[in-house]
Amino acid sequence: MGWQELVIILAVLLLLFGARKLPELAGSLGTSIKEFRKATEEASEGSGDDADGAEPGADAVEHHDADRDAEH
């Protein structure tokens, strides 16, 4: 995207929202991006725990079934 396109987009935004509202919108956008990045990093850290690809809690179900079979 060239500088001419950016100028046109900024002019349209200025016309739509006004000069007072643009800094508030930019701050909200920055905060939203920061929160989104934090959430995706936390999600990717949490998904690294299951290296074998098994569902969480699958081991507990298998152990419970083994205990039940041993009782009978």
List domains and CATH numbers for the chain: 1-44 (1.20.5)
Find which of 33-37, 47-51, 58-62, 64-68 is predicted with most confidence, using mean pLDDT: 33-37
Q: Indicate the average pLDDT of the chain.
A: 77
The pLDDT value given to residue 46: 81
Cα separation of 62 and 66, whole Å? 6
- pTM comes to 0.47
The pLDDT value given to residue 10: 87
Say yes or no to pLDDT of 5 above 90.
Answer: yes
Say yes or no to pLDDT of 50 above 60.
Answer: no
**DSSP code of 49?**
T
Q: HSE on the CB side for 49, CA within 13 Å? A: 8
